[in-house]
Structure 1
Amino acid sequence: MSQASQPLPKPIRFLFGGLSGMAATLFVQPLDLVKNRMQLSGEGGKVKEHRTSFHAIAKIMRSEGFIGVYSGLSAGLLRQATYTTTRLGIYQMLFDKFTSADGTPPSFIKKAAIGITAGGIGAFVGTPAEISLIRMTADGRLPVNERRNYSSVFNALYRITKEEGLVTLWRGCGPTVFRAMVVNAAQLASYSQAKQFLLSFEERFRDNIFCHFCASMISGLVTTIVSMPVDIAKTRIQNMKHGEYSGVLDVYAKTIRSEGLFSLWKGFTPYYARLGPHTVLTFIFLEQMNLFYRKRFM
Structure 2
Amino acid sequence: MGEEKPKTSPPTSVWLTVKPLVNGGASGMLATCVIQPIDMIKEKIQLASTLNQKALCGLNAGAIGACVGSPSDLPLIRMPADATLPAAQRAVALNMGMLASYDQSVEFFRNSLDLGEAATVVGARTVSGFFISACSLPFD
Distance 1:196 1:130, change over 3 A: same
How far residue 182 of structure 1 moved from its aligned partner, in angstroms, is 1.2
Q: Deviations over 1:160-207 (max 9, x none)?
A: xxxxxxxxxxx83xx32xx222112212232233223433333xx22x
User: Any conservation in 2 of the 1:87–1:119 contact (CA below 8 Å)?
Assistant: no
What is the TM-score with the length of structure 2 in the denominator? 0.63
* Other structure's SS at 1:118 match: helix
Q: Over aligned residues, Cα RMSD in angstroms?
A: 3.3
Gap change, CA 1:114 and 1:225, over 3 Å in 2: closer
Percent pairwise identity:
31
State how far apart, in whole Å, the 1-side matches of 2:132 and 2:78 are: 24
Aligned to 1:74: 26
Match of 2:126 among 217, 228, 236: 217
Q: What is the aligned partner in structure 2 of residue 185 from structure 1?
A: 96
- Larger relative CO (CA 8 A, sep 6+): 1 or 2? 1
Q: Contact between 2:31 and 2:69, CA under 8 Å: does it hold in 1?
A: yes
SS at match of 1:222: helix
> Which is higher, the Rg of structure 1 or of structure 2?
2
Gaps of 5+ in 1: 1-67, 100-104, 140-170, 233-298
- The 5-angstrom pairing of residues 25-174 of structure 1 reads 71=21, 72-83=24-35, 85-91=36-42, 95=45, 105-134=48-77, 137-138=80-81, 172=87
Question: Given that residues 51 and 104 in structure 2 are in contact (C-alpha distance below 8 angstroms), is that contact kept between their aligned partners in structure 1?
Answer: no
Matched residue type, 2:62: G
Q: In the TM superposition, what is the alpha-carbon distance from 1:123 to its structure 2 partner?
A: 1.3
Aligned length: 117
> Residues 214 and 226 (structure 1 numbering): CA distance in 2 closer, same or farther, change over 3 Å?
same
**Structure 1 residue runs of 4 or more that deviate by more than 4 Å after TM superposition:** none
Structure 2: which 5+ runs fail to align? 1-17
Q: Tell me, yes or no, if the aligned pair for 2:106 and 2:124 is still in contact at 8 Å.
A: yes
